[in-house]
Each structure stands twice: as C-alpha cells, then as structure tokens.
Structure 1
C-alpha cells in the first residue's frame, strides 16, 4: 500500500530579527541541508530582512507582499481577507497536508484557513507552535481582547490537532488562557557552532576595549521585557561601593528601548563603562561570548532564551534572571548562576560575587557544553517534533 505523501508548511508572520524567526530559519535550513522532508514556507507579511538566510528553494516560499502587519492589530484585520485568501491558495497549490503555525497571528490565520479547507473537502493537520509567555506580556485587559481570545480559543478547539511549547513556562501561560490539544513541551535548539574568540578580539580592539577589562556581555533585543534597566540599577549599586575596577559592559543588540537605555546610562554617568553595539551578527556575537568574562541575561519575561543556550554552546559563564524559560535552562551553581527576576539588589550581589571570584573556575566549561549537547541540539529536537507530528523523515 502506497504511503500518503506529506508536505509540511511552516507559517510565520515575518522574518524579522527575533528568537522565533531565527529558530524557524535554523529548523528549515537543517531540514533542507539533510534532505529530511518536503517543506514549504509561508511568510504572512513583507517584513523579511532575514530572507537571504533561508536555504529553501524560492518556489517553495511565498511572501505576502501586500501586508505589512506582523501582529493582530487594526491593519491585520483590514488585510484579513487578503491574508486568508492567499493562505488558502498557498495550501492548495502546494498540496500542504500539515501546518506548523508559529506565533499568534499565524495560528489564528491557520485555524481560519484549515476551516476553509475543510469546507472545500481538503483535510489538513494543524499544529500550533507557542514560543512566548504571550498573556504575561500582553494581558487580556480589554473587552475586545477577551472577546477575540474567546473566539480564537474556540477556533483552537475546532481546528488544532497538536500544540508545541518551548518551555514549561510558556505551556502554563498558554493553557490557562486558550484551548490546548495534545501538548508537547520541547526546548529550543541550535546547530552546534563552536567559534573561536578571534573575531570578538578584533571587535574589542577596533572599539578601544581592552582585554584587560572584566568584560560583561548582555546579548539580545533591546526591549522593556529584557530587563536592561534592572542591570543598570544593579551595576550602579556595585559601582557606588567602589568594588569594581577595569570593567566594561557590552550591550549587543538593538530595539525599541535603545534610547531609554542610553538615557538611563547617561543619567547615572556610566557612559565610560558601557558600549552599545546595536544589531550584532550572530558569528560576531558567538565570538564575543568567548571573549566575555560573564554573560548577563536580565530578562523580566522570557518564553525560553536562545541567548542562554548559545552561552552553553560557547561555554560562557552566565548570570541570568530566573524568569520563564531561563530558569529552566540555567540551574543556579550547576551550569551558571541565577538571580531573582526584576530584583536589582539580588542581581548586584550575584554580580559582585562573580567579579570578586573572577580568577576562580566557578562553573566547569565541560558541564556547559555537555548540557547543550544533551538537551539543545537541533537534530534531536527535529526528530522529536516530527515524531510528535506523526510524520516520517526521509
């Protein structure tokens, strides 16, 4: 008996710079490089700065160029007929049998599209891939949000076949607010990429940053939920104690909070201690992990924390907030250090402890790398995803 041919479509709102987008690119590229499965990609907007990183052949990708909305907002509803029609057509033309819907906008559209396909006699399996603590960061605080969420939950009950979550924190956040069917909690992953420190050292020299400094790296997007202000407050407390000497903080990222962060640094007269690099290419960022004495991730909310598993991969000493998925990746004193989320005093105490013991081996590098290889490789993750989706790899 001939097996049914399956085609899996990844559906995502955009290919902008973010954890969900980068993880999707990594997954697609690994599938393509290893010829694992017949896949397609639908991007629901014209926001695609990372498009050239995708290795999937171009006739297997569709970009909805007439839409610029990447979230469920007024513009999205205005463009809803166009987005839905294009999605249904894409699924039909590519004979898609299975959907992996990433982020809320894609999940809502995919539910509507599956319902439309059901009416047309075409059966599609839909799996929603949840990647953030959506309701903590965007609470249901208006009648419209509550009404729309109730509608979306009803659509999830009707059309979702499975649900994937990148952390237990995300699972708890989602299942308390929307219907969930057949759950799998599976952490993010990365292709193993152990770089050396050469590019990072060149960056330091080019920007007048001496390697004699105790270098703290804060990687990731500049956004209120990422906790940069908490770190600045903690740093100020330690500095006032006159216990820091030859120290430099590199903020490697960009985003809507950049001006606020710059103003905070200026307000406390800390300019000589901080260097904000803006958007940082991943190869350079990984090399900076190697150069840094400490990587700090001070997030207020974090669904998972790709920057933390990058740190494990590069065997970097890390100090992270215990919020959300970060607290599931880093165990205090085992593979890194944690501090109480949002607590600048606790952060300052941990930061000072690490600084004062900078000549000691606080965490063995082999522990970090073994943790990464055991839990966060993309090969093992994709095998588990395809098994959960009931799809057989080539």
Structure 2
C-alpha cells in the first residue's frame, strides 16, 4: 500500500499504457511526417526551483468559461487532476536516487575522464609532461580549453612536483567544475505579476523539446499552477499529437491547429486565450530543425514579434533544449539560438549514459547562460533542477 501511494501521479502517468486511440493518432501523424522528412544534409547542422503553489488548485471559473467557448479543433481540454503532496520523509532517498541516475547518465564522460586520470597519474610525480597529458584528457572530454587550463593550473599551484593519486585529481576536477557551473545553476522561477508567465521552447528536432514541455507542465500542475500548452511546431503532425497527449496526461488544455497552419497566428491566439482563462503558465512549442534553415529561423523571429504585440514583456523565458549526446554541436546551437531567439536559459536532456555531458561545462564557461534543468530519462521525475555540485561530482566519478 505504501509503495502504491509513493508512486503517485508521475508513476501513473508513465506506467499506464496509452489508449489505443492515441496510439493510432501518433502513429498516423508519424507516418505522414515520414513522407515529408528532410534529407540527411538538410537535417545536419552547419557546425557541429522551488515553485510556490498559488492559493488555489482548481481552475478559475472564467478559465473554464473561455475554454468551453473555443472551437473543439482548437483546444484539447482534459479533465483536471489533483496531485498528492510528496512524502517529506522520502526527500533524502529521492535525492540519492536522483544523483545515482545523474551519475549513470554521465557515465560516458565520467569513465573517459577517470580512466584517463588513472592512466596518467598512476605512480607518477606531477610534472609538466603529466599536466599536458591531463589537459588533453580534459579537452577531449569537451570541458573546453578555459576550464581545462583552470583545472591544470589548480594542480600545478598546489601539487606540482609531488606524487598525487587519481582520487586527489578527481576531487580537484570536481571542485573546479563546480566553480564554473555554480554561477549558472539557477532555478526557473515564475515572476509575480507575469500572468500568464510565457515560456517559449526552442531547439532542434530530436533534442527532447516537446517531451520537456510535457514534463514542465506536469511539474507546474503538480505545484498547483494552471497551465496551457500551445502546439506551435505546426510543421510536424507528430509534434502536435505528442503535445496533445501530454495535455491529456497533465490536465493542461492545448491550443492546436492543423499541420501547416501559421505558427505565429497560433501563438497569438494562445496568448489571448491564456489571458482570458486566467492561466498561470503558457508554454509554447516551436518548430525544430531551425539552426541551419534561414526560413524557419525567420518564422521563429516572427513568432516572438507576434507574442510581443500582445505582451511587450513576453516571452518571459526562452528555453533552449540541448541534446547532451551532440557534444560540440550543442555549442553551435547555443550561439545561433541565442542570437536569433534571445535564449534566457538552458535545459540539457538525454543524459542517458551515452551523453557527452562535459560540453555543458564549456557552454557555461563561454556563455554564462542559466542552466535550469537536466534530464536523464523519459520519466517526468527524470527532469530535475540543475545542481552544479551534483553535476560536478557525477562527472568526476565521485559519490554524492
């Protein structure tokens, strides 16, 4: 009985099979999209918080009234859910479990680093040749030249001409990585007076953008916030269907149109309806495959202009999802989307054991953008607020 209660909403969300009707909808959408799939050349880039719950948990009366007036093809309104409060006594256990998943997700980067460190520092004094070899290992792990230099300098300053162990080196590595990441480890907090708080999600196809939207919606709904989703990736039928399913899972209405509809117009309509319905949060999806396609980058800029016609301060957060398996290509995405969309924060996904997570350190050192969340799997609770210390210890192969 206790185990059943502990699983709660998130476990039910993912352990229950989808209805056959939804499976058929997604399959049909994916089949239609397959016919329009880009060539490999087109798809290849050029270069490689604590949430405060509001006083209410139920939708505002005006929200229900507005949603009932919308045409059925424009909005999917699932029944609301009530999420039980987490068990306080499980907090320590949950954190330990999360760290183990994070460490497992960073295992590729960690194993590469630790095996290299062991090979270099076994029974050797710390001389210039050793430091050069160590710096090469750090650069190959995508930590970036500036960070690699800081770490080697820390070793040179405190331990030069001494015999050091691999354990000592890994502790220095963790400390220096944590120093780089600490300034960017910031929660995504809803701003008082911004209602709805508009989150625009950007990123290339396959980065986990739409799934991240669903996970964020689940987290905000569980905290008692009213959330609306907008299926702004109108180029992909499968993305629209996927977001509708997330809406049904999380009890969040979804503003959607048919494939090929004007994304900017949909975003504007979503802004209007979210305001009328009294939503706390509006999360807008956008088309992927943008980084190297000028016309789609132009469409993204148009979406932002249209949103600001309705609310000059919006979007209040522009989140870029980064696939951790792409390595150096993630750096290029940050640069392009930062320039074109004004990215305000990052979400790193797919830290699943095949990832090259060191690139996040290089991105933090170069761009200083806040990192709000990291994801290590498909479960809702596999997306968690970013912790610099946890990430640094995991990538260095240390225990929590």
- Alignment TM class, shorter chain as reference: 0.3 to 0.5
Q: TM-score, normalised by structure 2?
A: 0.32
- TM-score normalised by structure 1 residue count: 0.33
